[in-house]
Structure 1
């Protein structure tokens, strides 16, 4: 079991990590962040990614699909952005966000690490 600060540190320990956040997608606010830069404003990313999660949830509802989102991957020319809604009932309404340098990251390993963080996070 880990807390938010530990989870953010673990996310930043993923090879190629550029920035990490734990976001409340009801409000669009980042509850915690690590890393980031002028080129990667994590507050802006949190708000923007909230819209992506909400849109996908609306689409699933409209399609009548009774499935949960495991993660959403956005592939940019130089980065990967992974959004992972937290699966526990206590953490409902939150998601993990991890931005990675595409040249240094192992995408499969990063997704696996985020799943492990999700499984252990207690908020």
Structure 2
């Protein structure tokens, strides 16, 4: 089993996980995905969240900030969507995407676990 497969399984083991993906934000394509919800199209989510990441990176650049994105949280009425850009030398241009059921998820714990997964994953 590849590192990416293990990372996706680890992401899906987070309480409330509905779907997980590793996405290339240069192309908008998911390199790997795993989901438990038929209502969540991970290909559409990967492409749409690519635009979110690109927009935020452009804004940071235009503002002249010397900052990196740690994570992006999108709160919906019934879900949380977490986006975590990867920071490794070989994984630049990728982000982790995790959709959570808001009623079952612990957001702080999910963010903590996603950070650990990102640090361990080598693509």
> What is residue 27 of structure 2 aligned with on the other side?
27
Equivalenced residue count is 122
Runs of 4+ in 1 over 2 A off after TM superposition: none
Alignment of 1:1-123 (within 5 A): 3-123=3-123
Partners in 1 of 2:39 and 2:67 — Cα distance? 34
How far apart are residue 18 of structure 1 and its match? 0.2
When the two structures are superposed, what TM-score results if normalisation uses the length of structure 2?
A: 0.97
| Structure 2 CA distance for aligned equivalents of residues 64 and 89 of structure 1 | 22
Tell me the SS of whatever aligns to 1:31.
Answer: strand
Unmatched tracts of structure 1, length 5 or more: none
In structure 2, what is the Cα distance between the partners aligned to 1:84 and 1:4? 15
Structure 1 vs Structure 2 CA RMSD: 0.9
Provide the TM-score with structure 1 as the length reference: 0.97
Distance in 2 between the 1:62 and 1:12 partners? 35
Deviation at 1:87?
1.1
